[in-house]
Amino acid sequence: MTPKTAIQELATAIGLFASGDEDGAWTIVRRMAKAGPGQATLPGMPEAPEPVANHTDTVRRLFVYWQQRCNHGTAKLTPERTRAVLGRLRQGYTEAEIRKAIEGAAEAAYQNDDNGKRYDDLELICRNGTKLESFIERGVLKTGAIEVVNADASKGGVEEQITALRRKMAELRKDGRNTEYEQAAGELAKLMGKRR
């Protein structure tokens, strides 16, 4: 591959990445890596992640679940909603965790008293990991229970610890024990790092 061709390909990959098509960008980077002699990746670039299973079906299932649980039957699966859900899946959150966040939104979403608007859009729920976890916690505080199932049995121990810690955090917050809650939040962050 000539330097000029490599630069053109790289520019195309950057454009795809900027538009939200990370899979398309990584496809080009992998193709370049295979074509280029002697180097597995481009200089200064991280290793390309292994291709994530096609999440199209997962996104659709979660969207339909959100429509039903949050009473948004006429809502459309917009690019913003799709990107938000895909972003959380790529971060390592499971379908079950996103479902729990949707349930938290259905049970305890913020509602404006003036106009009755509920803040439970799927894009908001999945905007980032912090938002997702806050909606899971809202569900825990409202219902008092959470059960997150992970299909990957090798991560089961960590997932069980995360679930137990989230339950403990819900109790601490409910009891107003803020210092202990903050300590538990630090532990949760460490555990979340182990799952990836």
pTM: 0.51
Q: Angle 56-69/79-91 helices, nearest 10 degrees?
A: 110
pLDDT digits (tens, 9 = 90+) for 62-80: 999 999 999 999 999 999 9
Q: What pLDDT is recorded for position 144?
A: 59
Specify the DSSP class assigned to residue 119: E
Taking the CA atoms of 124, 188, 166 and 98 in sequence, report the sign of the dihedral they define: positive
- The neighbour count for residue 72, using CB atoms within 10 Å, is 15
Specify the DSSP class assigned to residue 43: T
pLDDT digits (tens, 9 = 90+) for 6-35: 777 778 878 777 777 777 777 777 777 666
Q: What pLDDT is recorded for position 66?
A: 95
The answer to whether 70 touches 101, Cβ cutoff 8 Å, is no
